[in-house]
Structure 1
Amino acid sequence: MIAEQFVKKYLPEALKVEKETGFHHLITLTQGALESGWGEKALENNFFGIKWSEGDKQAKQLITTTEYLSTPNAKFPMVISKTKQPNGKYKYIVKDNFRSYPTAAEGFADHIQFFLKNPRYAKAVEVKNDPDKFFDEIAKAGYATAPDYAEKLKQVMHSVIIRIPK
């Protein structure tokens, strides 16, 4: 799926989430685009890279992913490779469990619930109507291990904005 198709197809879901929760539609649309590669890697409707945890109601799926961590002894269902980086962190290529959803709508709705249910994202929730600030706060709170996560989101957001019909 190309960027224009992604925006056209999922903008209604993002607007629905905004109407129901107050989270700016660019948050869900942008993060969904980045995390899923414009929908190409939204395996089982997980557009947001939300990992599965014990007690989750959603089904789980095992997916290959990259993580950047400070510890050389991180635990995953399967470690494919681990490389020490110049900054002292470790780059892991792993298989890990991620949430699975029957529909895209359920994936989009759960994305916001994930933030609301996790206290570490409280500062992000306070700025849910400002995508730039929201992206900064979720990056600080550790949503992703990529060191430039907030900046990547902001770059993708500009690609999303120019594709939204006027």
Structure 2
Amino acid sequence: MTQGIIQTDVYTDFQGINALRNRVRTDGDSEETLRAVAEQFEALFLQMMLKSMRDASLGDSMLDNDNTKTYQSMFDKQISIEMSKGEGIGLADMLVQQLRRNKGVDASEKAGISVSPQRDFTELTNTRPNLLQVKKPSETSSLDRQVPDWKPESPKEFVRKLWPHAKRAADELGAKPEMLIAQAALETGWGQRMVRGADGRNSFNLFGIKADNNWQGARATTETIEFRDGLMRKERAQFRAYTSPEESFSDYVDFLKSNPRYNDALRQADDAPAFTRALSEAGYATDPDYAGKINRIMDGSHLREALGGVEISETGPRS
């Protein structure tokens, strides 16, 4: 970093920041000032990036508390300043060159490198150490193939979109598709409260299936309501993430069939009240009224009216 002006070597050094602001006002065209401002901008950029990385983590550690989070934030802010010193990540160099061009100064002469007006940030950072290069996730572990986001505007749209998938899944389970639609409506608020990942992407998790250690696919972490010892509590949990509603229905079928504890429920799949009650008794959900809520949705006017707009399948009327 330039030694000609006061440095901001510690993120709490407000004197250095104020001195830099005053230097810009009085000598904003000098090389030293341009470099110092660019490095401060790069440090702020790194702070934002580190914060985003923290926010996108899988969740808080069991040992985390307000104190550790405070010191973690302090560390991130300080390390961002250290990373911006010297060669940094190339962002400061790019800014200095851009500012020089704006002031009519030949950037290549000043920097001693060949820089065309079209040279972009990607090319510039390729000459720097790959400090922040992140390995691209494999196609099978990401949501890159995810269908466009979906947020139905009404129960009727919710049912129309999901009915074909519910019908196929119900056929595999020997259940009624209306029951699967009702369960998905309960879990997602008719599609209005879909679980989303840290990046805002829709998980398409229609049945509230959580991601345990055996789940190898994508995950989405969010707050959820659970009942513990008869009391309703807000908890943070990881849920399975899918690329489409169809994939969610397919995994729901596999999930029930692959878990022996749901064998009793599957034997009663053709009886919706018995099926939902057996699911609840097997521990599918912590809500003591889980089965009752599904059955009330099945018998309610919202579903009945929505089903009225669903086209009859080739195999005949809905069962």
TM range (shorter): 0.7 to 0.9
Q: Which residue of structure 1 aligns with residue 166 of structure 2? A: 14
Give runs of ≥4 in structure 1 deviating > 6 Å. Answer: none
Distance in 2, matches of 1:47 and 1:17, equals 13
Q: Which residue of structure 2 aligns with residue 68 of structure 1? A: 227
1:57-101 deviations in Å (ceiling 9; x for gaps): 32111011011113xxxxxxxxxxxxxxxxxx3432111000000
Q: Which residue of structure 2 aligns with residue 93 of structure 1? A: 234
Task: Give 2:266's match in structure 1, choosing from 100, 116, 125.
Answer: 125
Distance in 2, matches of 1:8 and 1:47, equals 15
Q: How many residues align?
A: 148
**Cα contact 2:219–2:238 (8 A) shared by 1:** yes
1:139/1:20 CA distance change after superposition, 3 Å: closer
Distance in 1, matches of 2:305 and 2:277, equals 21
CA displacement at 1:148 relative to structure 2: 1.0
Structure 1: runs of 5 or more not aligned:
71-88
Whether 1:48 and 2:207 are equivalent positions in the alignment is yes
**Cα contact 1:139–1:149 (8 A) shared by 2:** yes
CA displacement at 1:138 relative to structure 2: 0.7
Distance in 2, matches of 1:136 and 1:93, equals 24
- Give the 3-state SS of the residue equivalent to 2:306 in structure 1: coil
Distance in 2, matches of 1:161 and 1:146, equals 24
Which segment is superposed worse, 12-21 or 145-154? Answer: 12-21
Task: Give 1:33's match in structure 2, choosing from 185, 197, 212.
Answer: 185
CA displacement at 1:142 relative to structure 2: 1.6
Q: Which residue of structure 1 aligns with residue 109 of structure 2? A: none
Distance in 2, matches of 1:29 and 1:162, equals 13
- Give the 3-state SS of the residue equivalent to 1:96 in structure 2: strand
TM-score, normalisation: structure 1: 0.82
Q: Which residue of structure 2 aligns with residue 138 of structure 1? A: 279
CA displacement at 1:3 relative to structure 2: 1.2
Which segment is superposed worse, 95-104 or 2-11? Answer: 2-11
Q: Which residue of structure 1 aligns with residue 122 of structure 2? A: none
1:109-130 deviations in Å (ceiling 9; x for gaps): 1112111111111111001112
CA displacement at 1:31 relative to structure 2: 0.7
Structure 2: runs of 5 or more not aligned:
1-152, 196-202, 313-319
CA displacement at 1:15 relative to structure 2: 0.9
Distance in 1, matches of 2:305 and 2:256, equals 26
**Cα contact 2:166–2:249 (8 A) shared by 1:** yes
**Cα contact 1:69–1:90 (8 A) shared by 2:** yes
Task: Give 1:164's match in structure 2, choosing from 283, 307, 314.
Answer: 307
* Letter in structure 1 aligned against 2:212: S
1:58/1:23 CA distance change after superposition, 3 Å: farther
Q: Which residue of structure 1 aligns with residue 83 of structure 2? A: none
Distance in 2, matches of 1:20 and 1:112, equals 7
* Letter in structure 2 aligned against 1:13: H
- Give the 3-state SS of the residue equivalent to 1:16 in structure 2: helix
Q: Which residue of structure 1 aligns with residue 36 of structure 2? A: none
Counting aligned pairs with the same residue, the percent is: 32
Distance in 1, matches of 2:181 and 2:270, equals 13
* Letter in structure 2 aligned against 1:137: A
